[in-house]
Amino acid sequence: MKDTWKNNFKRWMDGDQDLMEHILDTDEHRDEARAALKEEEHQILKKADEARGTQRVERLEMRGYYLTYHLVAIVSCVLLICVLLFTIANLPRYGVENPEATVVTRRYIEKGLQETGAVNIISGIILDYRAFDTLGESHVLFTALICVMILLQRDKKNMRSEFEDYYTIRNDRFHELYGDPVMHGVGSLLVPSIILYGIYVLLNGQISPGGGFSGGAVIGAGLIIFASAFGLLKVDRFMTRKLFSWIAFCSLSFYSFAKGYVFFTGANGLENHIPKGTPGAILSGGLILPLDIAVGLVVACTMYGFYSLFKRGNIGSD
């Protein structure tokens, strides 16, 4: 960058340079102390230059390392691509009947409706045949939220000053689109329909495509849009920290106990007393609907919790 008037003015505007410096720095005002200071600064900059020279030599030495590093990266990448393509080439073709691999699938398709009572076979598989899998998934999601909390939560122990929280919130509010009419209009138009759609997907998991995870994710996305359009403080009115913990605790423990009962009776050949209901109705599929609701609540809370933790390092205002 040249030392022109324009650049000087720009630097002054950015606050990097004082315009008065050059005016005071003329010959009349030069004194001994200032000259000594200048000399010292010059020496320091010279030393920095020398250090830069040694850095250059080091960089030359590192070049061999970088060459091998890049070579290894390229070779491993090509190998991975080859392995994946080879695996894909060996997979059975899409849509072609493969008698050996479809024993389990055929059982699901033939007896799924009779055994689980769910019209949507996928829900039947996810929440009945392989419910243990889904239990692990929802716990993994909850664990991820706890990890984010450990990293990002702001409390008295990790705040630099007492007012940091206040300042960040005020700063966010300044840069936010809370009062923006476009955001407001779009939010008030979209949020109710998105959350209604999420609830529909959640409750109709055993009849139509969807279920706990999809419905919960849609509701969580709706909550995020609501929070970004109308502010986090509006969401705090109903979504406090306490409610959040209670929802997560109740859903996960309900899931564990309900599924534990079914596993226990199933493994010991006992009769379980959960009605299957008529297939096609909302109240069908035995435990699938309550489990769907439990998973959906956990997912929705987790999605909103991620957003809130990323935004201000806390869930709820307290």
d(CA 306, CA 143): 12
Which string of DSSP letters, residue by residue, matches the chain?
----HHHHHHHHHHTS--HHHHHHTSGGG--HHHHHHHHHHHHHHHHHHHHHHHHHHHHHHHHHHHHHHHHHHHHHHHHHHHHHHHHHHHSPPTT---TTTTHHHHHHHHHHHHHH--SSHHHHIIIIITHHHHHHHHHHHHHHHHHHHHHH---TTT-SSTTHHHHHHHHHHHHS-TT-HHHHHHHHHHHHHHHHHHHHHHHTTTTSS--HHHHHHHHHHHHHHHHHHH-HHHHHTT--HHHHHHHHHHHHHHHHHHHHHHHHHHHTTPPP------TTSSS-STTHHHHHHHHHHHHHHHHHHHHHHHHHS-SS--
Does residue 210 interact with another protein by CB under 8 A?
Answer: yes
Q: Among residues 8, 115, 122, 190, which is the contact residue for another protein, using CB under 8 A? A: 122
Minimum CB separation from another protein for residue 91, in Å? 14
Q: Among residues 125, 203, 217, 239, which is the contact residue for another protein, using CB under 8 A? A: 217
Minimum CB separation from another protein for residue 120, in Å? 8
Q: Which stretch binds another protein (CB under 8 A): 77-85, 103-111, 155-163, 301-309?
A: 301-309
Minimum CB separation from another protein for residue 226, in Å? 13
Does residue 303 interact with another protein by CB under 8 A?
Answer: yes
Q: Among residues 139, 184, 241, 311, which is the contact residue for another protein, using CB under 8 A? A: 311
Q: Which stretch binds another protein (CB under 8 A): 26-34, 221-229, 243-251, 276-284?
A: 221-229
d(CA 94, CA 172): 50
Does residue 124 interact with another protein by CB under 8 A?
Answer: no
Minimum CB separation from another protein for residue 192, in Å? 16
Q: Among residues 6, 29, 52, 237, which is the contact residue for another protein, using CB under 8 A? A: 52
Q: Which stretch binds another protein (CB under 8 A): 26-34, 219-227, 233-241, 245-253?
A: 219-227
Does residue 154 interact with another protein by CB under 8 A?
Answer: no
Q: Among residues 113, 125, 221, 235, which is the contact residue for another protein, using CB under 8 A? A: 221
Minimum CB separation from another protein for residue 85, in Å? 14
Does residue 53 interact with another protein by CB under 8 A?
Answer: no
List of residues contacting another protein (CB under 8 A): 1, 3, 14, 16, 45, 49, 52, 122, 201, 209-211, 213-214, 217-218, 220-221, 224, 228, 303, 306-307, 310-311
